[in-house]
Amino acid sequence: MKKANLAALSLIASLVFVILLASSSFAAKQDVEGNVICVEVDEKGNVNGMDQFTECDGVFMVVGKDGKLYTVYGTEEQMKMMAKSPKKKVSGQVGGSQRAWVIYGSPLDIQKGTDQTVTGTIVCLLPSYEKGNVTPVVSTGPCNEATPHAHVIYTKDGQVYALSGSEAAISSIEKNPQRTNVTLSGKVVGNQGAWILYVE
């Protein structure tokens, strides 16, 4: 009986250790190598992905060498530093899914975001990993069959938000044929260079 209890305790201790190990590796920072770009709206109302910039009025993205496209989130100070001296490597915690990866340069509690409704145009950011950039496209219909890519929504006043959220929420946006005058609700977090709308 004592041997059975000892074996059970040993098994539980091992399981707890494995869970702790898994959760700590999830929380560990990762280095993402790639090309940092700024996605913003120009004076003519066109969305551009630029790899040469001194400031960014839109959002920062990393076209990763690992074949993923990441939205960059960080403090206002981190975003200003990134604009002044863009790097080929960004460090932080990674979250999201294939069509909405985010790399967090600083901790973020999404629930502390502001509930907001945003109306604007949804733009697909089709990645070119060879060139280290994206081609912004306003699709004429659903985009769920296209190569996995990220999305932004921009408003009439030129504000750009990277879209993130659950796979189901992003999939719903991709399957919707309407791309202009789209209204999305969710939580807005971030600052200049790192505005993100988490859709629900």
Is residue 161 scored above 70 in pLDDT?
A: yes
Q: Mean pLDDT over residues 186-196, rounded?
A: 93
Kindly state whether residue 21 falls inside one of the protein's structural domains. Answer: no
Count of residues making up the chain: 200
pLDDT in tens, 26-85: 346 899 999 999 999 998 989 999 988 888 999 999 999 999 999 999 999 999 888 887
Q: Mean pLDDT over residues 86-111, rounded?
A: 87
- Mean pLDDT value across the chain: 85
Task: Give the position of tokens 């975003």.
Answer: 79
Kindly state whether residue 38 falls inside one of the protein's structural domains. Answer: yes
- pLDDT for 6 equals 40
Q: Mean pLDDT over residues 115-131, rounded?
A: 95
Integer Cα distance of 198 and 108 in angstroms: 12
Report whether 109 contacts 86 (CB < 8 A): no
Kindly state whether residue 22 falls inside one of the protein's structural domains. Answer: no
Is residue 158 scored above 70 in pLDDT?
A: yes
Is residue 20 scored above 60 in pLDDT?
A: no
Q: Mean pLDDT over residues 98-115, rounded?
A: 89
Give every CB contact of residue 10 below 8 A, 6+ residues apart in sequence.
none
Question: pTM of the predicted model, to two decimals?
Answer: 0.82
Kindly state whether residue 8 falls inside one of the protein's structural domains. Answer: no
Share of the chain above pLDDT 90, in %: 66
Name the residue with higher pLDDT: 86 or 22. Answer: 86
Integer Cα distance of 194 and 72 in angstroms: 6
Q: Mean pLDDT over residues 136-148, rounded?
A: 94
Token digits for 197? 């709308």
Kindly state whether residue 170 falls inside one of the protein's structural domains. Answer: yes
Q: Which of the four pLDDT bands, split at 50, 70 and 90, describes residue 112?
A: confident
Kindly state whether residue 16 falls inside one of the protein's structural domains. Answer: no
Report whether 197 contacts 161 (CB < 8 A): yes
Kindly state whether residue 2 falls inside one of the protein's structural domains. Answer: no
Number of folded domains that form the chain: 1
**Burial readout 32-54 (b: 16 or more C-beta within 10 A, e: otherwise):** bebbbbbbbbeeeeebbbeeebe
Kindly state whether residue 70 falls inside one of the protein's structural domains. Answer: yes
Quick one: which H or E segment has residue 76? helix 76-84
Is residue 5 scored above 50 in pLDDT?
A: no
Domain range for 188:
31-199
Q: Which of the four pLDDT bands, split at 50, 70 and 90, describes residue 103?
A: very high
